[in-house]
Amino acid sequence: MNIHPSKMVLLGLALLLLAILGGLGFVAANPSPSIASVTTSAKVESDVFLSFVAGSGKLPPKIAGCDIFPGDSIWNTPVDTLPVHPNSMNYIDTIGANRGIHADFGSGAWPPGSDSPIGIPYVVVPDSQLKVPVTFIWWPEESDNGPYPIPTGAPIEGGPASDGDRHVLVLEEDNCILYEMYYAFPQHDGSWEAANGAVFDLNSHNLRPDNWTSADAAGLPILPGLIRYDEIVSGEIRHAVRFTAPETQAAHLWPARHHASSLTGDNFPPMGLRLRLRADYDISSFSPEVQVILQAFKSYGLILADNGSPWFISGVPDERWDNDMLHEMDAITGADFEVVDVSKLMVDPDLGRAAMP
């Protein structure tokens, strides 16, 4: 295993601390632990530490006890020190330099009075959840076969009557496996039909086969890029955020695996493009909750994941959101962002693991 020199220093300090704690009796609950128990406990703690240092000193985000990919995943890697992409201005002009960003999530429903929550919901299930058959009707050859552990009444993006994207996201918490579907419909017999579906092992760095779609046009998972209210409560978002653009290029950049366009001009942004809010953009006048989001835009940035409205930022519906507060972000325009070049972070084109920036 290759470890960056700066990580070696931190690792050495951590192992020294583990040795001290072990000597003081803190490694195991047993005051006279066996060598095997000390070794096992030390390995677990060192593995946690390696995940910590691999993510540049940050533990990976968690949902229901699951790491949402390892700490050194490209999703969880800061991009605030990376160089600006040479084509940054052209990409931003195409998306809309003068267009404001929009929080495509919130509380309540839109339109008012409908059964359409604002955002992309997800559901957490145990490994005992019954798995049901899923028929993929549009891209079966690029879908991961079922059955999927979809509970009765699983939340659907846009609500049960929606004719939009109808994403369904299911996190199996015991095994940390993520199941995602696009344009999904429950059937009377308990099975589901969907345009396509993808399964992600959140403990792994494996990407989908190149040129395979997912529930997103970029071939990426959706859940890791959603803003959740619980993150605001914690005071920090530790991952990149999903967003959409109206016109994209017939190309994709790592870690994206797929594109959905026939446009070839180099001014059109490719799927997987990473952007960040400029470091000199002053966020101090925004509400504290919005500052948490904007700091994530600076540190971890945005990932272009799908075709859609310009600068639509994705998150999870939650009745705790203050929609008026979220609208503070409308004042931020595309010109306040810059595209970054993440190519030097790529360790392997088929893995999502990122080198230390």
Q: What is the pTM of this model?
A: 0.85
**What sign has the CA pseudo-torsion 77, 81, 83, 84?**
positive
| CA nearest to 194, candidates 241, 157, 248, 227 | 157
Give me the residue label for tokens 């095997």: 36
Are the CB atoms for 353 and 73 separated by under 8 Å?
Answer: yes
Q: Residue type at 10?
A: L
For position 77, what pLDDT does the model report? 98
Are the CB atoms for 159 and 114 separated by under 8 Å?
Answer: yes
pLDDT tens, per residue, the chain with 357 residues: 444 444 444 444 444 444 443 443 333 333 333 333 333 333 333 444 444 444 445 699 999 999 999 999 999 999 999 999 999 999 999 999 999 999 999 999 999 989 899 999 999 999 999 999 999 999 999 999 999 999 999 999 999 999 999 999 999 999 999 999 999 999 999 999 999 999 999 999 999 999 999 999 999 999 999 999 999 999 999 999 999 999 999 999 999 999 999 999 999 999 999 999 999 999 999 999 999 999 999 999 999 999 999 999 999 999 999 999 999 999 999 999 999 999 999 999 999 999 987
Per-residue exposure over 317-352, b if at least 16 CB sit within 10 Å of its own CB, e if not: bbeebeeeebebbeebebebbbbbbbeebbeeeebb
- Strands 312-314, 102-104: pairing is parallel
Give me 265's structure tokens. 């001009």
Task: List Cβ neighbours of 17 (8 Å cut-off, separation of 6 or more).
Answer: none
Under DSSP, the state recorded for 76 is G
Give me 124's structure tokens. 């957490």
Task: List Cβ neighbours of 223 (8 Å cut-off, separation of 6 or more).
Answer: 63, 68, 122, 169, 171, 178, 180
**Which helix (H) or strand (E) is 193 found in, with range?**
strand 192-201
For position 356, what pLDDT does the model report? 85
Burial class (CB in 10 A: 0-12, 13-18, 19+), 31: exposed
